Structure 1
Amino acid sequence: MSAAIHCDPEESRQRELIAEFGRSLFDRGLSAGSSGNLSVRLDDGWLLTPTNASLGRLDPARLSKLDWEGRLVSGPRPSKEAFIHRAMYQERAGAGAIVHLHATHAAAVSCMCGLDHSDCLPPLTPYFVMKIGRLPLLPYHRPGDPALAGAIGELSRRHSAVLLANHGPVVSGASLEAAVYAAEELEETAKLFLLLRNVPVRPLDARQIDELKSAFALDI
């Protein structure tokens, strides 16, 4: 049972959603152990999952709340990857939430040689194009490396999602639901990509992608 949360109704709702989506991601094997982190933008700062917390056992009352300088306002110590979220929020005004996972197939792709660093997964399905667009690969940085903030901020100006080499995806969305759905679509596309290795494939061509952009007003 969660402890009482003394905050406005919208913040309370977002806290409950973080716990709900975290449990769903964990239960379906998209976030093993204490890996991965979720965050949501608020009017007066942002919420983030705590350090060493399993997404499957989040307490809505025990989330980290930070201000826009990255300072802890309330709750336990935040994930050491808080700066990744902050850097993406600073560059993407429309980002209402961010999902960072170490999901198996996306992490596997992030370890491969020979990827196009500007677009490391092909447009195999219209759903990947609609939810992710182009996926850049960010060169390897050790966990917690401050240089990662600048690198991810630069890419976030043009992309809603990035893949961290030898690590996993960071995906933003207008809401937590949208960010989770996009992260799930990225993981499924990574799975398809690995399943289809050494098999001739037919990704969407430029005309088909332009048609999707026009039909769904995509900014990718």
Structure 2
Amino acid sequence: MTTLTELHFADLLPDSIKDDATTKALAEVIDIEFSLLLATMNVPQFLLRVDDMVEPELSILARELCAPFWEPAFSVERKREVIKKSLIWNMTRGTSWCVRDALETVYGNATLEEWHEDGGTRGTFKVRVDNDDPVTKDSFGKLTRILTETKRQSQHLDALVIPRSAESSLVVGGMCEVAQPIIGVMQHHASGSGQCGSVGVAFFLPSILCNSQL
């Protein structure tokens, strides 16, 4: 993303006039005037102090900025990062960039595939999150909250993939529809050695809520 200090108006000119000497000179003058304008703008001091803030300052500022999906359990570093990006997230909600950036900020490594990228159903998308946190009802709820607060309303989650490596029991719930709604629960316990191989967990909505493969 290009910031205002990195912006050059000559880069925005269409091909039809970008080589015109008069137009190029005008763009350079605009750059000079724009840089002078930016120099006179005062950045709110609290935004410059985010890296030095601790609780309860962070929570108060998050409330003031309407920080999306704020979690009191976040680490101080993650809280600071969410606050720094709150303004741009609120301005870009409903875009794929916002969804991706929010997931990467909270989970570190996440990818998003829209329906036209993988031949899926129009208006759907898939999310893959590589994270070491355990897959629980609370963690799944936190992730879906992030998606709900950043995606546009016409987008619908089709699949959520979370690769896992586990050394304990894994409980997975599944739902499918045949003639009548059926709810089934599958439970897998690790072997006696306490070791379990790589576990791939994929949540498919709504036809298959959860699919687990060991």
TM-score by length of 2: 0.24
- Structure having the higher strand fraction is 2
Point out the structure with max Rg over C-alpha.
2
Task: Select the structure with the greater relative contact order (CA < 8 A; seq sep ≥ 6).
Answer: 1
